[in-house]
Amino acid sequence: MSTDYEDKEREFLEYLKADTGRDLAEWMHAIREADLAHRNEIIDWLRQQGFIFSWASWLERIHHNGGRPIYLDATPPSLTAPPRSTSDAPATTAPPPPKADKPKTPAPKAPFRPVLVYTAASKPAQTEMAPTPTEPPVPTPSAPRPTPPPQAPAPAGSLNPISDITALIGKAKAYAPLASFVLRTLREALPDASIQVTGNHISCGAPETFAILVPSAKDIKLGLALAEAPFERNVVRAKFSNLSPGPPKSITHMLVLTDARQIDSGLLDLLRSANASVNR
């Protein structure tokens, strides 16, 4: 198991109480009390409590794992110890699981300090991702129109208005922040690339399309033009359904993204390779 992931998880849990006002046991109890049926609903609820997507997803995975950390062999006592009493007597044992018959008294919230996003071991952690992709501002029409006509697909090499991209990403629901993070990372790695809405997906070109992003409520699919590159465990043969229009023939490979930790230096290398394969 990755020692780096263990360190990140240990740091996250050690500072959870100071950052959010609740420790791991209290958050597990709060999730149970929220009585949410699906994983995406739990992640959405945690996002509303102030967590960024990657840590909301991590905390949901711990809850799904029976309240046990994912990478640590066991939860250190210091991570589940209850707050000290008024007499400042140190606690020696972990608190028992909360009883259902106790009145629901939520713990008071402390000022929330944003938790850092983990991207790759070789890079410093980044701050919380923005809810929409940070595209350059698009000039607005000189005369506003109360009811604009339907917008035709933008030509290659240009940008759709951010509102169009945001509207399409919004259909991904709980995965919308992840789709925004992917586009922002792509823009930072390849600043000359254009990003435009093409039917029901997003095309990225410079000027030829080298990547497409297909957001959905189930996952985010990233198609890449990698020609004869071998297929690996995480990079599989491109297969999309219900795309209109269909993807370019150059899109040969695909990654299925569900977690911000997948957006790392390896993914950036794949994006650059895809661009180089069709825009030499």
Query: What is the H or E stretch that residue 221 is in?
Result: strand 220-224
Q: What is the pTM of this model?
A: 0.46
Reported as half-sphere exposure (CB side, CA atoms, 13 A), residue 101 has a value of 0
Is residue 141 assigned to a domain?
no
Tokens encoding 106: 């939520």
Give the C-alpha separation, 130 to 135, whole Å: 11
The crossing angle, in degrees rounded to 10, of helices 176-189 and 265-278 is: 60
Whole-number Cα distances in Å, 75 to 4, 89, 97, 116, 248? 17, 22, 14, 21, 48
Does residue 130 belong to any structural domain of this protein? no
In a domain, 152, yes or no: no
Q: What is the pLDDT of residue 233?
A: 74
Kindly tell me the burial class for residue 27, based on how many C-beta atoms sit within 10 Å of its own C-beta (0-12, 13-18, 19 or more): buried
Of 98, 115, 132, the last residue of a domain is 115
The string of pLDDT tens digits covering residues 49-91 is 888 888 888 899 999 999 999 888 765 544 544 443 434 333 3
Are 129 and 260 in contact by the 8 Å Cβ rule? The answer is yes
Asked if residue 267 and residue 175 are part of one domain, the reply reads yes
What is the token pair recorded at 102?
């106790």
Q: Does 123 map to a domain?
A: no
The total of structural domains in the chain comes to 2
Bridge partners, 6 (sequence order)? none
As a residue count, the chain comes to 280
Name the residue range of residue 173's domain: 162-278
Q: Is residue 126 part of a domain?
A: no
Give the model's pLDDT for residue 8: 86
Q: Is the pLDDT of residue 120 over 60?
A: no
